[in-house]
Structure 1
Amino acid sequence: MSEYKEIAARFAREAAGHKMTIAHDDGVFRHLVFCDPKHSFYWFEIVTTPGQLVFSGDGESFVFRRVTDMFEFFRSGLGRNGSVEINPQYWSEKLTSDRDSVKEFQEDLFLKLVWEEAEHLIEQEHVKPDQVDRFRQAIKDDIVEGGLYSTSGDAYRTVTEFGFYNDASKEFDWQHQPDIVFDDAWEWFGATKDYDWWFLWACHAIVAGIARYDRVRKYGLEKLATPQGGAS
C-alpha cells in the first residue's frame, strides 16, 4: 500500500467500475483505455511508444521517459502479493515537462513547519522563558489565524514578515529590531509542498492499469478487451 493511503483509497473507489479496452497492442506500442461505461468521470488512457509512456484522462496529462518499455519501469510498483507501492518522488524525476508542477503548496504542512520552527526557537532559548506563552500566542495571532497563506507566495511573505520582541515595550519603537524573525525560512519553506492529488492518482492508475493488462495477457483474454470483442 502506498504511503498516500487516502489517494490509494480514492483511486480504488473512483475506478471501481472501470472497464479496460485495448485499443492497440503491438510490442511496446500500446493504447489502453479505462472508463466506466455508466459515466465519463475519472476515465484515463495509457499510451506507450519506445522509451515513453503518456498518461491522459480526466485531468492533467503526464509524459514519462526512462526505458524502452515503460511498462517494465512502472511494474516496480507491483508487489508479488499484488500490493501497490507507488514512488512519486522517483517517478516524477522521469517526467519530460516541469517536474515541480506536480507539487503544490499544502497549508497543513506550512502550519506544521511553522510550529516546529517556533518550538525550535524556544528550545534554543531565543525566546526568554517568561515570554514563551506570549511568543506562542503571537505565532497563533499573526500567522496561524491572522496571516495569509492561501498561496505559497502569501505564506512565505507572512512568515518572513513576522517579528517578535522579547520586550513588548520595544515593539513599536522604530529604533529596535525584532529579537526573533524567521530569517531561515528559505531553508525549510520548500518542504511546504507535496505531490498534487491528481499526480498521485495518475501513479496509482498507471500501476493498476498495467496490472490489469498483465492479468488479461496472462490468461489469454486479450480478445475480450479489444473493441471487436468488447471491454474486459
Structure 2
Amino acid sequence: MTDYPEIAARFARDTAGHRLIVLHEDGLYRHLRFASRPSGYSQYWFDLITTPGQLVFSGDGESYVFRRTTDMFEFFRSGIWRDGSTHINPGYWSEKLASDRESVKDFQEDLFVKLIWEQANHLIEQEYVKPDQADRFRQAIKDDIVEGGLYATADEAYRTVEEFEFYNDPSKEFDYRHTADVRFEDAWEWFSATKDFDWWFLWACHAIVWGIARYDRVRKYGLQALATPAEAVAA
C-alpha cells in the first residue's frame, strides 16, 4: 500500500481552506460537501454521498461510485489510523468501483522507460545479447525506444516495443535471410505494469478518507450545527 506522497501533498494544498457542509444526514443517507466557500462551490470542492451499500464521490473532476458494505463510511475508515493520520489503499479500493475499474489507471511514461531498461538488462544478463555487443544494444534501446521511439500513449509505446529488433552481428541487419537475435516477444506479459493510478483518482481517495475523518471529528465533539447550512436547519 502506498499513499502516493506527492498526491497527498497536493491534496493538502488544494483543500487547505475547505470546510465541511452537511447538506443531508439521515442514518446511512448522507450528503456532505467540502469546499472553501459557504456557497458550497469553490476550486477543488467535492461531495461525499452515501446510501446503503454505496458511496459516490463527485467534485471538480471525474465522479466515482464505490460499492462494498452497507455503510461505506465504515469501509473507508480502514484508512484512518489510531494516531489520527489518514492513508489510502487505491489498489484495493479500486476493486470496489461499480464500473470500469481500469479507467482509473493511465499509461505512465516514466514507468515505461524504467521497465524497458529492466527488460534490456535482463536480456543482457541472459546473454541473448552477446557480451561484446551489450553497449551497442543499450545504445539501440536509447536511440530507438527511450529517445527516438513514440510512446505518448500506451498503444504507441507497445507498438514501438513490438517493432524493436537487434542483431548481434550488425552486418545481418539488412539481410532478409536472417532474423533478429533480440526482440521483446514477451512484452504482453509485463506491459500492464506501465500503468498506474491517475492523479485524480488518487486525489479522490485522499478526499474520501480525509472527508470521513473530518465528519467523524465534527460528530465526536458535537459540532454538527456548525457544519449544517441555515436553510437545512430551517427545513
Q: Same fold by TM-score, threshold 0.5 exceeded?
A: yes
Distance 2:121 2:157 in 1: 19
Give the SS at the match of 2:66: strand
Distance 2:176 2:68 in 1: 57
Q: CA deviation at 1:17?
A: 0.6
Distance 1:49 1:57 in 2: 18
Distance 1:167 1:148, change over 3 A: same
Distance 1:37 1:143 in 2: 48
- Contact residue 77 and residue 86 of structure 1 kept, 8 A: yes
- Contact residue 3 and residue 89 of structure 2 kept, 8 A: no
Give the SS at the match of 1:132: helix
Distance 1:229 1:20, change over 3 A: farther
- Contact residue 2 and residue 84 of structure 1 kept, 8 A: no
Query: Structure 1 segments of 4 or more deviating over 3 A?
Result: none
Query: What is the aligned length?
Result: 230
Q: Counterpart of 2:120?
A: 118
Q: Counterpart of 2:230?
A: 228
Q: CA deviation at 1:2?
A: 4.5
Distance 2:169 2:120 in 1: 17
Q: Which residue identity lines up with residue 197 of structure 1 in the other structure?
A: W
Give the SS at the match of 1:16: coil
Bigger mean CA deviation after superposition, 219-228 or 31-40: 31-40
Distance 1:137 1:217 in 2: 61
Q: Which blocks of at least 5 consecutive residues in structure 2 are unaligned?
A: none
- Contact residue 223 and residue 229 of structure 1 kept, 8 A: no
Q: Which residue identity lines up with residue 77 of structure 2 in the other structure?
A: R
Identity in percent? 73
- Contact residue 42 and residue 57 of structure 1 kept, 8 A: yes
Q: CA deviation at 1:168?
A: 0.2
Q: Which residue identity lines up with residue 30 of structure 1 in the other structure?
A: R
Q: Which residue identity lines up with residue 59 of structure 1 in the other structure?
A: G
- Contact residue 162 and residue 181 of structure 1 kept, 8 A: yes
Q: Counterpart of 2:213?
A: 211
Under a length normalisation based on structure 1, what TM-score does the superposition of the two structures give? 0.97
Distance 2:101 2:124 in 1: 36
Q: Counterpart of 1:5?
A: 5
Q: Counterpart of 2:143?
A: 141
Q: Which blocks of at least 5 consecutive residues in structure 1 are unaligned?
A: none
Distance 1:175 1:101 in 2: 44
Distance 2:187 2:47 in 1: 41
- Contact residue 2 and residue 8 of structure 1 kept, 8 A: no
Q: CA deviation at 1:97?
A: 1.1
